Structure 1
Amino acid sequence: MFLLRVILPDRPGSLGTVASALGEVGADIHAIEIVEHRRENGTAVDDVVVDLPPGVLPDRLVSACNSVPDVEVIWFSRYGAGGGLHMDLEAVEQMTSAPAEAIDILVEQAPAVLHADWAALLDGTGSEVKVALETSATPQFGQIAEQWLPMERATALSAPDGQGLAESVLVAAPLDSDRRILVIGRRGGPEFLGSEVARLSYLASLAVAIRAGVS
């Protein structure tokens, strides 16, 4: 499975043209998600999750997209999280079905929702910041987490050198306290867009509200 993030003209037919180009190289499209509309220049950013038949080289996906006029691939990688369309809704459904565990569920689902590699719940309400919950592949944070707290709103974070974070792009949101935050990382990119930060902020607020409903 592969994830392509593409910029294309925000007009009818553009996405269909990209899909047709991918189909010509044998790609099986599993999901297409509109990440962001950029009205200032008339473009959109879309994530496309695809699979390839045996024997087809992955770089043909990039060549196919770039062959379409005014289309540019800005990110390409293998993708194993199994996400796609409706992941936000699926996460919300799981949270509402188990309200007391809503925050834990959001942490576990966050990598798939945002096409990321890992997520961690950091708790700084005590004398030191600790990792309260983490998904697989979460790196060590060391002392850098102290610099992120308190956090008032969802935001992209700067990854420090060393400590396993230097190659990651990060985004975070406060949960039920400005010293309890959800941090999500992608190894190597792409950068989290403003629309993705807004989605995380909404989901974090919703998880807190759902859990508060059973308190």
Structure 2
Amino acid sequence: MLLRLRVSLPDRPGGLGQVARVLGALGADILQVTVLEREAGRAVDDFTVSWPGTTTPAAVHERLSSVPGVKVEGVWPTKEVPGSALDYDLLMHVAGDPARGFATLVDALPGLCGGEWALALADGVVRHASLAAPPVFELAAPPPPRPAVHVAGERRLMLLPVKGTAMNLVVARSEGPPFHRAELDRAARIVEVVSRMAARFEPVND
């Protein structure tokens, strides 16, 4: 199984290696490490690991939490295969068929952001939806003027307004931690690029 682990650890030599040794001892194959932030003497890293057998996210969380100085912020299943270049694939598809740009973007966002589903809202109506997305969705508050993260019950949401339009993109997951600001910034840049490519071909204000 593929898992993502979000770990906060002391930002000092050997800290990352200590976590890697524990993961190796548990039988995990580390496929990718992404540094999300480094500040105030600590780092927040995302590990993508391949884990054999029937290990559960809860068991992984418990074992890693025993490492001194390490705080486990989340362990959750992922379908994002490291090295698959999903963002480049998305842009190539949009360039080939810009009239379907927003639909293609919505389909790709869950994989790009470690989410479970995504959808595009305009004037309260779902215009595009990925697999597993609800057919009807209502924001609890007015859409934010800029990209934002939000927690609604068990849902962790990423809210991405499309500049100059009435459209807002929503990415959701029910497992793992809230979306990190590094994830939000990356998604917002991708949305901006795709919206510029697609804006001439798809009406979004009606």
Query: TM-score, length-normalised on structure 1?
Result: 0.77
**1:138 is aligned with what amino acid?**
A
Residue 26 of structure 1: how far off its partner (Å): 0.9
What secondary structure, in the 3-state scheme, does the structure 1 residue paired with 2:162 have? strand
Instruction: From the superposition, tell whether residues 193 and 63 of structure 1 become closer, same or farther in structure 2 (CA, over 3 Å).
Output: same
What number of residue pairs does the alignment pair up?
200
Pair 1:145-2:122 in alignment:
no
1:203: which partner in 2? Answer: 190
- Give, in whole Å, the separation in 1 of the partners of 2:64 and 2:112: 24
CA RMSD of aligned residues (A): 2.8
Q: Residues 154-173 of structure 1, C-alpha deviation per residue, up to 9 Å, x if partnerless?
A: 112352xxxxxx32011111
Q: What does 1:116-155 align with in structure 2 at a 5 Å threshold? A: 116-124=115-123, 129-139=124-134, 141-142=136-137, 144-145=138-139, 147-149=141-143, 151-155=144-148
Q: What does 1:1-215 align with in structure 2 at a 5 Å threshold? A: 1-34=2-35, 36-39=36-39, 41-54=40-53, 59-79=58-78, 81-84=79-82, 86-124=85-123, 129-139=124-134, 141-142=136-137, 144-145=138-139, 147-149=141-143, 151-159=144-152, 166-175=153-162, 177-212=164-199
Residue 182 of structure 1: how far off its partner (Å): 0.6
- Give, in whole Å, the separation in 1 of the partners of 2:147 and 2:186: 9
**1:117 is aligned with what amino acid?**
E
The question of whether the paired residues in 1 share the 8 Å contact of 2:76 and 2:176 is answered with no
- Give, in whole Å, the separation in 2 of the partners of 1:147 and 1:173: 14
The question of whether the paired residues in 2 share the 8 Å contact of 1:22 and 1:64 is answered with no
What secondary structure, in the 3-state scheme, does the structure 2 residue paired with 1:185 have? strand
- Give, in whole Å, the separation in 1 of the partners of 2:34 and 2:22: 17
**1:65 is aligned with what amino acid?**
L
The question of whether the paired residues in 2 share the 8 Å contact of 1:168 and 1:189 is answered with no
**Structure 1 residue runs without a partner (length 5+):** 160-165
The question of whether the paired residues in 2 share the 8 Å contact of 1:120 and 1:131 is answered with yes
- Give, in whole Å, the separation in 1 of the partners of 2:149 and 2:199: 26
The question of whether the paired residues in 2 share the 8 Å contact of 1:108 and 1:134 is answered with yes
Query: TM-score, length-normalised on structure 2?
Result: 0.80
- Give, in whole Å, the separation in 1 of the partners of 2:47 and 2:128: 29
Percent of matched pairs sharing the same residue: 29
Instruction: From the superposition, tell whether residues 211 and 140 of structure 1 become closer, same or farther in structure 2 (CA, over 3 Å).
Output: closer
Residue 48 of structure 1: how far off its partner (Å): 1.6
The question of whether the paired residues in 2 share the 8 Å contact of 1:103 and 1:211 is answered with yes
The question of whether the paired residues in 1 share the 8 Å contact of 2:103 and 2:129 is answered with no
1:162: which partner in 2? Answer: none
